[in-house]
Amino acid sequence: MPKKDFQNWSKEKLLHEYKELSKRKKFGIVWEDKIEEVAEQCKTSLPVLKDEKAKSFSTDKNGINHIFIEGDNYHALSVLNYTHKKKIDLIFIDPPYNTGNRSWRYNNDYVEKEDRFRHSKWLSFMSKRLRLARNLLKENGIIVVTIDDYELFTLGLLMDEIFFENNKIGVLAVESNPRGRTTNKFFATSHEYWLVYAKNSNVASIENVPLTEEQKKLFNLEDDVSSYRLLPFRRSGGLSTPEERPNSHYPIFYNEKTGKIDIEPFKNSIKILPIDSSGRKRVWRQTRPSLMEAVGRGDMVIKENGKGFVVYMKDRIKEGRKAKTIWINPKYDASSHGTVLLDKILDRRKAFDYPKSLYAVLDALSVLVANKKEAVILDFFAGSGTTGHAVLELNKNDGGKRQFILCTDNQDNNGSGTKIASDICYPRIKKVMSGYSIGGKKIAGLGDNLRYYSGELVGNIKTDNDKRVLTSRSTEMLCLAEATFDEVANKKGLFAIYENQKQMTGIIFDEDAISDFKKEAKKHKKPIVVYVFSYDHTYNEEDFEDLENLKVVKPIPEVILNVYRKIYKELYKPRNL
């Protein structure tokens, strides 16, 4: 940036500059925002969806309707801010790592290592999308962003700014390349990072990781309740002295013949204190009340070891353990279980650069949405489709009904002449859902249905006719918002009705068709949400008083415009740098 010459500035201009400088952040990440063409388009145009019926397919009429959106993810996220605000349980994304190796484009140009604005472009790109994405998460929702060393620290500060530092619930190191990156001059990088943030850490939750067979073998004792192992009841190490835990230093009274254990002395009892082998005073693992509860459960065991009595507590086997922050497992190898697996599915060599290991993503889903059997999972950097594949696998494993939403563009894929959406991501998902063969061996499909949309733009609203145009192009957005995909009736230009198993959606394009619409709607018993064209935010309530199965009436396109006004106002307001 050129230096400012303050010598000839007026007092008023200097005062204004001082006020602006005083607004600057005292801590956080600052970058020079770079204009992005796809974002600038939204100043004059509005994103909508087009139903690509020829690419949609169904393997099970009663199965889950998964969503595939082809197009720029900035536009897709704008649409989802209307259709899925506060509806997403988990966002899992693998954005460009900004390595400078011609793997990422900004405004249609590759970003090279020598580009001095490389980090600013990447931050501008990510900031816009992450701000839109945050609106989509439920209050207990979670987002995972994968990254490597090139943008780890900038991404961390950006995530702290958008999702807030107190909502950071984990930074995982996942060994995705056990062999190490041989091109590194010094250390051979073998891992990447997964930054995990909650929308609200006070209400978010994650699941334990299932025990391995080796871990299960440690619980080698068993009683009528469960398998267990014995752990010393006396603490050692940190926070194990009476000065640090005064309430946990007390005598335990025990009768070897009867097996009675108490915290009060009784006839023929001996006193046991938490004294270590060097004679130093220690403390018990629990206070008196908790000890007596454990005694009542039969979880306390005292044994004689020749030198005295040792107090043990039964540590009962659990379904899992808290997930750790370092993930090392051969199945997380992105080459064997990402690249090679994808090549086999698509029957093509080097189909896609650096796909994630299916099993790394599957294990992440198991930790983050295992207890949410109807979770909605969004990946707006879908790439090769690993997230969608993992959702289908998890549903197969536990009978869940989770839905994925995949967004990806259709840019050229690694210079091979293939396209990311049409030649990589979509074929993979279709094969995994419908079934395919590898070397003559048939792999059964995982089922469900796919709704395929492409992103388009319509002109911004300047006239009443523009409102009619937007309304005529909003059918896909409204059906997606209500999850009603099956057409019941369609009177072109007048009205249409769609349904799912539980409800219907009515769209009235012409207010003169309200009477005909109601005649059709009254033939059905399901509750119905009605969208009616209006030049403003009003409609005549009396027009729908006799519709018994009515849930709500919403004026269009105003309900859509309100969302776009809000998100674009937030995105384009000046940032105080």
Q: 327 and 295: one domain? A: no
| Same domain as 331, residue 192 | yes
Residue with tokens 């089922």: 447
- Does 379 fall in a domain? yes
Can you tell me which residue has the tokens 């989509």?
A: 136
Instruction: Name the H helices within 473-538.
Output: 475-482, 514-521
Query: Does one domain contain both 426 and 339?
Result: yes
Tell me how far apart the terminal alpha carbons of the chain are, to the nearest angstrom.
14
| 383 in the same domain as 330 | yes
| Arithmetic mean of pLDDT, 231-259 | 96
DSSP secondary structure letter of residue 372: -
Stretch 433-447: mean pLDDT: 93
Six-digit token string for 560: 């859509």
The C-alpha angle with vertex 125 and arms to 121 and 126, in degrees rounded to 5, equals 120
pLDDT of residue 576: 42
> What distance in Å separates the CA atoms of residue 558 and residue 535, rounded to the nearest whole number?
8
Look at the block and give the residue holding tokens 């009429």: 61
Verify that 333 and 184 share a domain, yes or no. Answer: yes
pLDDT tens, 271-298? 999 999 999 999 999 999 999 999 999 9
Within 8 A by CB and 6+ apart from 101, the residues are: 113
List the 270-272 sheet strands across, edge first.
261-262, 252-254, 270-272
The yes-or-no verdict on residue 419 having pLDDT over 70 is: yes
The alpha-helical segments, DSSP class H, found in 100-191 are 118-134, 152-163
Same domain flag for 239 and 113: no
Same domain, 75 and 176: yes
Q: DSSP labels for 557-573? A: THHHHHHHHHHHHHHHS
| Residue 34 confidence (pLDDT) | 80
**What's the whole-number mean pLDDT along residues 191-207?**
97
In one-letter notation, the amino acid at residue 399 is G
Residue 217 within a domain? no
Count of C-beta atoms within a 10 Å radius of residue 577: 14
**DSSP assignment, residue 281?**
B
151 is in which domain, residue-wise?
40-210+323-453
3-state DSSP call for residue 359?
helix
Final residue before a domain boundary, out of 429, 453, 477 = 453
Look up residue 53 and give its two tokens: 């019926």
Kindly state the tokens that stand for 347: 């029957």
Reported as type and span, the H/E element at residue 405 is strand 403-408
Out of 428, 453, 478, pick the residue that ends a domain. 453
Say if residue 67 is in the same domain as residue 153.
yes
Question: Lowest mean pLDDT: which of 64-68, 206-210, 288-292, 475-479?
Answer: 206-210
Query: What tens digit of pLDDT does each residue of 326-383 get?
Result: 999 999 999 999 999 999 999 988 889 889 999 999 999 999 999 999 999 999 999 9
Residue 577 has pLDDT above 50, yes or no: no
What is residue 29's predicted lDDT score, i.e. its pLDDT? 80
CATH for 49? 3.40.50.150
Question: Does the pLDDT of residue 74 top 80, yes or no?
Answer: yes
Phi-psi region of 439 (alpha: psi -120 to 50; beta: other; left: phi over 0): left
Which residue carries 């959606």 as its tokens?
505
Mean pLDDT, range 419-430, rounded to an integer: 96
Q: What is the dihedral of CA 345, 349, 350, 356, to 10 degrees?
A: 20
517 pLDDT above the threshold of 60:
yes
Residue 530 forms part of a structural domain: yes
Instruction: Supply the DSSP string of 538-557, one letter for each residue.
Output: ---GGGGTT-TTEEEEEEET
- Same domain for 54 and 141, yes or no, is yes
| Residue at 404 is within a domain | yes
Instruction: Give phi and psi for 294, each to the nearest 5.
Output: -65, -40
Cα separation, 39 vs 74, whole angstroms: 7
Same domain, 194 and 93: yes
Q: Are strands 449-459 and 65-70 parallel, antiparallel or unpaired?
A: parallel
Cα-to-chain-centroid distance, residue 198: 9
Domain boundary among 316, 348, 368: 316
Mean pLDDT of 113-128: 84
Q: Give the H/E segment covering residue 46.
A: strand 45-51
- 32 occurs within a structural domain: no
Q: What is the spatial distance between Cα 422 and Cα 426, in angstroms, rounded to a whole number? A: 6
CA 517, CA 511: separation in Å to the nearest integer? 10
Dist CA 243 CA 305 (whole Å): 28
Residues 103 and 122 sit within 8 Å (Cβ to Cβ) = no
Q: Compute the 3-state secondary structure of the chain and give helix, strand, coil in percent, each to the nearest 5.
A: 30, 25, 40
Please indicate, yes or no, if residue 164 is contained in any of the structural domains.
Answer: yes
Mean pLDDT, the chain, whole residue set = 92
- Each residue of 451-510: pLDDT tens digit? 999 999 999 999 999 999 999 999 999 999 999 999 999 999 999 999 999 999 999 999
DSSP sequence for 180-244 = --TT-SSS----EEEEEEES-TTT---PPEEPPHHHHHT--EE-SS-EEEEEESB--STT-STTT
Q: List strands edge to edge, sheet with 486-491.
A: 486-491, 495-499, 504-508, 528-533, 550-556
Classify residue 286 as exposed, middle or buried by CB count within 10 Å of its CB (0-12, 13-18, 19+): middle
Mean pLDDT of 78-105: 89
Domain membership of residue 229 (yes or no) is: yes
Quote the CA–CA distance of 480 and 493 in Å, as a whole number: 20
Q: Is the pLDDT of residue 106 over 50?
A: yes
Distance, CA of 244 to CA of 349 (rounded, Å): 61
pLDDT at 17: 81
Q: Provide the angle, in degrees to the nearest 10, between the axes of the packed helices 73-83 and 475-482.
A: 60
How many angstroms separate the CA atoms of 519 and 564, rounded? 33
Domain membership of residue 21 (yes or no) is no
The two three-digit tokens of residue 302, written as one number = 């005292």
Do both 308 and 262 map to the same domain? Answer: yes
> What is the count of structural domains for the chain?
3
For the purposes of burial, counting CB atoms within 10 Å of the CB of 570, is it exposed (0-12), middle (13-18) or buried (19 or more)?
exposed
Given a cut of 80, whether residue 99 has pLDDT beyond it is no
Q: What angle do CA 530, 534, 539 make, to 5 degrees?
A: 65
Q: Which residue has the tokens 């398998």?
A: 227
Task: Calculate mean pLDDT across residues 515-537.
Answer: 95
Could you tell me if 159 and 99 lie in one domain? yes
Predicted local confidence at residue 155, as pLDDT: 96
